[in-house]
Amino acid sequence: MLVKNPQKNALKSSITPQQFGKAMAELDLSAIPEHRKQQAVMDHLAKIMAGTIHDRSVAIEIAASRLMRLKK
């Protein structure tokens, strides 16, 4: 039998599932065109991740990736 641990590579974060849900709910998609909504959700998720991950090098990498994508 093969046992998988999906949390093995998880990064420590300072946000609870309830806080995460509240933060994601703050995104207002009403002004976003339908074809851009997925990108807006992913950008918002990256912003939340970069602000709450304890590993600063990973947080900086996420923030840099987000900024590079926004400059396209």
Distance CA 19, CA 14 (A): 10
Give the model confidence (pLDDT) of 36-55 as tens digits.
999 999 999 999 999 999 99
| Residue 46: per-residue pLDDT | 94
CB 40 within 8 A of CB 27: yes
Mean pLDDT value across residues 27-40: 94
The residue-averaged pLDDT of 24-36 equals 94
Tell me which long-range contacts 12-21 makes (C-beta under 8 A, separation of at least 24). 12/53, 12/54, 12/55, 13/49, 13/52, 13/53, 13/54, 14/52, 14/54, 15/48, 15/52, 20/48
